Amino acid sequence: MKVRKNNPLRISFLSVAVVCCVALSIVFFYISYRNEKAAEEKYAQEKAERVMQEWEAQLQMMKEVALRIVSNYEFQPYYFKADIAKKLSMLETFKQYKYYIALTEDYFLDYGEEWIYTSGGKTIDFSVFLNTKSENEKDQQWFRDVINVLKKDITKICGDPKVLRAFNEIYVLIPLKVNKGDEWDIAILGFVIQESALEERFRIAGGEMNGSMELYEKEVALYSNRETSCLPEHKHVVTSISKNGNYTFCFLPEKNYNINSGLFLVLVFLVLTDILLIFVIANIFAKRAFEPIKIIAEKYRKKVSKDVGSYVNELEELDNILGDVIQSNNEAKLQIQKKQRIIRDQILCMVMNNDTFGEALSYLDNAEICLPGPYYCVISISCEDEREMPIEFLIDLQEELEQVPDKNEKEYVYTVCSLEKKLLNVICSAHTEAAKDNLVETIRDVAESFSYKPIIGVGNTYQSLRNVSASWLESMDDIQSSKKKRHNINDSYSFVYNAEGLRRIWLALDNGNEEMAVERLEGFVEELSRNSVSMLMLQYILADFLGGIRRLGEKYRLEVSKTNISLVVSAKSVKDFENAAKKLIHEFCGCYKALRSQLEEHEVNQIYKYINEHFSEYDISIEKVATELRTSTDAVREAILIRTGKLYRDYLIYLRIEYAKVLLRQEDIPVAELCQKVGYGNVSYFIKLFREVVGVTPAKYRKNTIDGIDI
């Protein structure tokens, strides 16, 4: 069928095309206007964000100076007041801190006395200092009152910066806890910032900023560059808020009426091109409007031929496509199940370790883990020599144990398998204690029914999911006891002082966990109470306990009161020791938490993770770590000290030696190659260092490991 020359649909199609062209032009110009406006708003927002980042960076630098002062014994009053030379040394050190802050070189240190220390390296009377700022006595007294209130509110060794406006200047005050001999005192580190300097710094940080700028601290204007304030709720005001929410920066840009003629001409050209295309397309549609039936007929009238491809028809092609989709979905389902299993094992490990118990509880339902209890216990399955245990045994045993529980009887069993450690942990949940005992017996029978005979450890039963970690530790101890019996190691029950109980308390204190420390103390005291302990043995235990507290205090530079120490020393019974030790633990954990609050947990974790991943690199200096993580070397040292209790160098040696021990147990490689793998370039130095830490040479350690001798 031929198309007539005078197509009656052409006028209708062209009319629609005209309407579309007008609408398209409006849309194009509107999009251009919105894009330009959005770009200006984004640019202004980026400026405001850079300004806020600069402000937060300056405050952070000031806090770093405060941390340096708190951690430097030269600034402790008990130290520098004892000698004029120490005082002069302190002033000279204090004078150097002006290079840390870009906003100001004018700052002071107030120890609550009539005189203060200034950034000029001098000591001046505080009243004289205030008179230089203002002669108004009310303003001076108000400033003093602010400082006094700030001293009362401090709960940490280094408080958060307090920003205020006084004497037509901006003051940043940071409270500090300093050692004044036998007691703690509060000092104030103050930075004085000129408003003009702050405005200039903002313009440098944000680039050229034409408009009005404001900086607020909780609705109090600290800085303003015009008489009428611009607030966040005002129209067209760009706002940036600090991470802690204490500061708000407002920026009101000047209106820009410039028109980019080049882009405008390009836009006009594009619109005209689109109009032309629409008219051409409309004409083609009008021409083809009479042929839809013919086109459809020609499309479906064709028979299947070789040109179509390997498919007989479109249905077969669709069937093959759907088959491929189903296969892909099945593979994706298996991958999802595998990932869900990994996530489930991680959550169960969190429950057993009890490190992040609160987080683990929130994920139990999402991971489809059901542990209703109320009776819980953990069974650990290992062997006498983990290297000889086949991995297939653990996998088969895990699959068999997951079929044991009867959910109709409210029994639940979850297994966590560590193929690297050749260890299988089984968490059991039952609704009665008798059901729990039957479940444990069934699991033991299933494990012992395999041809490879394992060693089984069973933990005690608890009625709280939080205590699963204790049951797990007990099951591991049971395994160790079984191994001792197999080696004919005499472990008959009689009271012999074992410092392991105290070490567990120290480990809890090393992590700042007061609740766990008290719980372990009570368990240790209960062990002592079941036996007749002589006064000599009790005094020895008291001395050992205080020695561990002293070592932890030196490690973290913490001091506990002499009163609590005296109570422990003067204890005449196990009950007296328990009461005095609880007070000492409570005081120590309070000081520990105050110290830990100085560091951001995220930075500590980041540093710790980086070092654990890169310790085997040859160039892993503390300066490199600080550069890679964009932090300071002091922060790296403090993070490793708080996280591990070791200095950076000692912890690096520890990681490398432990890794060397693993390689010596698992691989038969030359010591020279082993030395390079753990990050040392000198073989003789590595052998010497290994012998100092482990007690034997690498070759001797490998031989002892093969012979089954524990080192």
Residue 333 domain flag? no
Q: What are 263-295's pLDDT values in tens digits?
A: 666 767 777 787 778 777 877 765 666 455 444
Q: Domain check: are 617 and 591 in the same one?
A: no
Mean pLDDT, residues 554-570: 80
Q: Domain check: are 523 and 479 in the same one?
A: no
Residue 309 domain flag? no
Domain boundary among 464, 486, 508: 486
pLDDT of residue 296: 44
State the pLDDT confidence band at 311, using cuts at 50, 70 and 90.
Answer: very low
Find the range with the poorest average confidence among 152-156, 317-321, 465-469: 317-321
Q: Domain check: are 439 and 579 in the same one?
A: no
CA dist 481 and 561 (Å) reads: 40
- Domain count of the chain? 4
Mean pLDDT, residues 544-550: 83
CA dist 426 and 232 (Å) reads: 57
CA dist 568 and 324 (Å) reads: 74
Domain boundary among 570, 596, 622: 596
DSSP string, 373-390: -SEEEEEEEE-S-GGGS-
Q: Domain check: are 381 and 274 in the same one?
A: no
Residue 673 domain flag? yes
Contacts of residue 221, defined as CB under 8 A and 6 or more positions apart, other chains included, come to 165, 214, 215, 229
pLDDT of residue 10: 59
Q: Enumerate long-range contacts of 657-663, CB under 8 Å, 24 or more apart.
A: 657/689, 657/690, 657/693, 657/694, 659/615, 659/616, 660/686, 660/690, 660/698, 661/694, 661/701
Residue 648 domain flag? yes
CA dist 213 and 198 (Å) reads: 11
Residue percentage of the chain with pLDDT more than 70: 81
Residue 76 domain flag? yes
Mean pLDDT of the chain, nearest integer: 78
Q: Domain check: are 138 and 267 in the same one?
A: yes
Q: Domain check: are 369 and 266 in the same one?
A: no
State the pLDDT confidence band at 698, using cuts at 50, 70 and 90.
Answer: confident
Torsion of CA 142, 145, 149, 152, to 10 degrees: 170
Report the run of H or E that residue 693 belongs to, with start and end: helix 683-694
Residue percentage of the chain with pLDDT more than 90: 1
Q: Domain check: are 17 and 62 in the same one?
A: yes
Q: Domain check: are 420 and 343 in the same one?
A: yes
Q: Domain check: are 512 and 457 in the same one?
A: no
Q: Domain check: are 60 and 123 in the same one?
A: yes
DSSP string, 649-689: HHHHHHHHHHHHHHHHHH----HHHHHHHTT-S-HHHHHHH
Entry pTM: 0.38
Domain boundary among 564, 596, 628: 596
pLDDT of residue 318: 45
Helix (H), strand (E), coil (C) string for 180-221: CCCCEEEEEEEEEECHHHHHHHHHHHHCCCCEEEEEEECCEE
State the pLDDT confidence band at 326, using cuts at 50, 70 and 90.
Answer: confident
Residue 604 domain flag? no
* Top-confidence residue, 14 or 51: 51
612 pLDDT higher than 50: yes
CATH number at residue 409: 3.30.70
Question: Which structural domain range is residue 466 located in?
Answer: 338-486
Q: Domain check: are 168 and 66 in the same one?
A: yes
Residue 320 domain flag? no
Q: Domain check: are 291 and 423 in the same one?
A: no
CATH number at residue 98: 3.30.450.220
CATH number at residue 689: 1.10.10.60
Q: What are 362-376's pLDDT values in tens digits?
A: 777 777 788 887 888
72 pLDDT higher than 50: yes
447 pLDDT higher than 60: yes
Mean pLDDT, residues 543-570: 81
pLDDT of residue 387: 65
Residue 311 domain flag? no
* Top-confidence residue, 596 or 305: 596
Find the range with the poorest average confidence among 305-314, 414-423, 520-529: 305-314
Cα R_g (the chain), whole angstroms: 37
CA dist 320 and 317 (Å) reads: 5
Q: What are 211-257's pLDDT values in tens digits?
A: 778 888 876 778 776 666 777 777 788 888 888 888 888 888 877 65
pLDDT of residue 258: 52
